[in-house]
Chains A and B, each alone.
Chain A
Amino acid sequence: MIEDEATSNGEESGDDDALVLGDAWIRDRGRRVLVYARTLLRDDSEAADAVQEAMLALLQHQERYDLARDGERILFTIVTNRCRNMIRDRSVRERRRIDDPEGELLGEIPDPTVCLPDEVAMGGELADAIEALLDRLPLQQRAVLHLAALGKKREEIASILSIKPEHASVLLYRARRSLARVLPHHGREVRE
């Protein structure tokens, strides 16, 4: 479906099907971007929907782009926007639920249970501590933190999130500080 980078670059490969359908491209980016969507949405099912829709959008408009050069950045941008829309839809639903307590218009919205990250970190579970922090961080800070952990530079993060690089720096500073605060014990273990 998506033309693979190797095809775009004119390289040969024995795996013809994968080149035409771009399965390798989707597999590689799919993992990364799905976990990114989960970080943003905090919901596995919605994240899968967001990534599916983003991939399809990219497929439909792939001729506009140089996927070999920009594919990953564009994919992350589309996923970010899809996630933002989904979160916005949630808030609309939430308001409707308040207006419509009997749930006439929509189903029940689950009541999110938020753990304090410091409490979880005290329990010593690194993964839980990270996930609890991600639950609490504002959306944009979650996004910059995740993208920074993927090794993306400030300018690319800003481009994906459609914000100014300076704003990305500020968000990253705050998110990093929160992360370091939540994981001090784990950090020391690593150092030792």
Chain B
Amino acid sequence: MSEEMRLPTEEEERALALLATHLEEKERDVDVEELLRRIQDAPDAREYETDIERLERKLHATPGKIRLLRAAVVLAIAATVFALFRGDPPAEGLVLAREIASALASSPDRTYHGTFRAAHGTSRPLARLLSGREVLLSTRGSSFFIRPGDVGMKLVWGRDGVTDTLWMAVPGSYGLRSAPEGNVARRVELLVEMRSMDLGRILDRLVKLCVVEERQEGEMRILEATPRGGLLARFRPGDRADFTKVILRARGSDLALVRVETHLAIDGEETGTLVWELTGEEKVSDELYTLEGHLLGGETVIEATNVAKTLEALQGIQPGEGK
């Protein structure tokens, strides 16, 4: 038997026992009621509690179980009243957000014009630098690609929803494609999330994590969403609290998003506003949702799953070298 497979020595056993005692003490100090509150307050938990059919099926409706079911109903109602009292999102807003998300997921091609405006007096140099920058976003279901809407930018990037890969290209220079599970993909996903360019993701986050209010203006249905502070780690300052408000305008007839206004923030400080406006609904070539659709030929294409290796590879490639 190798040394590493041997049984613990007496000293090791004693140390492990000390650790066990230490952990038990820590367990006693846990505020488990706080944990319960957090779970019960989460929107997903409330949805489960109000799902009476599932409860009924699980409890098989014996007399004792009916009592339990009744208790569950009372608690579900209480939870809902509690949620409303606390100012949590009205159900209508969430329903509409889900309907818009569903319409977006099965949507035909739509093209949006995006403009970023830095917040007045922002201290963030990058926000000031990017102010006025324009981009074009084309979406089809879970696929999208973003290209420059003005001069000075060459980078095109997007997601191929068919293969679930993220890609980016500098036409004439290089292409980068990352597998869904790769570190590069994760990093780009974060960027996509943070810059609020993936409309499907925005809607997903609104449903899960925001207070959503709905109103109607003529044929337009307006959703205004603000993050619930502190519910989940995603909204802790310095983590991913990347917007303070999102306003969506959806066409009443088919719930197509016609305008998305995202107020971006870093550490609670508003840095600028990104506005997407629907500019076209013409069919876009399938190829343009893939990396290949943006390569001129002869570029270096990096199939990447590792950030370090990718950066290393990219350092050796200057624009134009791939030709």
Q: B313 within 8 Å of A by Cβ?
A: no
A56 touches B42 (CB 8 A): yes
Chain B residues, CB < 8 A from A149: 16, 19-20, 23
A180 in contact with B15 given A34-B30, A150-B23 (CB within 8 Å): yes
Q: How far apart are the CA atoms of A56 and B267 in the complex, in Å?
A: 27
B126 touches A1 (CB 8 A): no
A187 touches B18 (CB 8 A): yes
A1 touches B18 (CB 8 A): no
B298 → A minimal CB distance (Å): 29
Q: Which residues A116-149 have CB closer than 8 A to chain B?
A: 126-127, 130, 145-146, 148-149
Chain A residues, CB < 8 A from B127: 104
B238 touches A21 (CB 8 A): no
B30 touches A20 (CB 8 A): no
B48 touches A107 (CB 8 A): no
Q: B133 within 8 Å of A by Cβ?
A: no
B86 → A minimal CB distance (Å): 17
Instruction: Please tell me which one of the listed residues B14, B22, B183, B238 contacts residue A107 in the complex, with CB atoms under 8 A apart.
Output: B238
Pick the most buried of A20, A103, A184: most chain B CB atoms within 10 A of its CB. Answer: A20
Q: A19 within 8 Å of B by Cβ?
A: yes
A36 → B minimal CB distance (Å): 8
A46 touches B233 (CB 8 A): yes
Per-residue interface assignment for chain A, residues 7 to 48, with 1 indicating a CB less than 8 Å from any chain B CB and 0 otherwise: 000001000110111010011001110110011000001101
A129 → B minimal CB distance (Å): 9
Chain B residues, CB < 8 A from A182: 15
Instruction: Please tell me which one of the listed residues A39, A176, A191 contacts residue B16 in the complex, with CB atoms under 8 A apart.
Output: A176
B306 → A minimal CB distance (Å): 12
Q: A60 within 8 Å of B by Cβ?
A: yes
Q: Of the 9-residue stretches B67-75, B138-146, B253-261, B283-291, which lies at the interface with chain A?
A: B67-75
Instruction: Please tell me which one of the listed residues B12, B54, B183, B236 contacts residue A45 in the complex, with CB atoms under 8 A apart.
Output: B236
Q: How far apart are the CA atoms of A21 and B75 in the complex, in Å?
A: 9
Q: A102 within 8 Å of B by Cβ?
A: yes
Q: A105 within 8 Å of B by Cβ?
A: yes
A169 in contact with B19 given A31-B27, A60-B48 (CB within 8 Å): no
Q: A75 within 8 Å of B by Cβ?
A: no
Give the number of chain A interface residues (Cβ < 8 Å): 67
Q: How far apart are the CA atoms of A3 and B232 in the complex, in Å?
A: 24
B4 touches A107 (CB 8 A): no
Chain B residues, CB < 8 A from A63: 54, 58
B207 → A minimal CB distance (Å): 14
B39 touches A55 (CB 8 A): yes
B19 touches A145 (CB 8 A): yes
B18 touches A104 (CB 8 A): no
Chain A residues, CB < 8 A from B14: 180, 183, 187, 190-191
Q: B151 within 8 Å of A by Cβ?
A: no
A146 touches B23 (CB 8 A): yes
B315 → A minimal CB distance (Å): 13
Q: B38 within 8 Å of A by Cβ?
A: yes
The 9 sampled A-B contact pairs (Cβ below 8 Å) are A26-B35, A45-B233, A48-B38, A56-B39, A56-B45, A150-B23, A176-B16, A177-B12, A187-B18
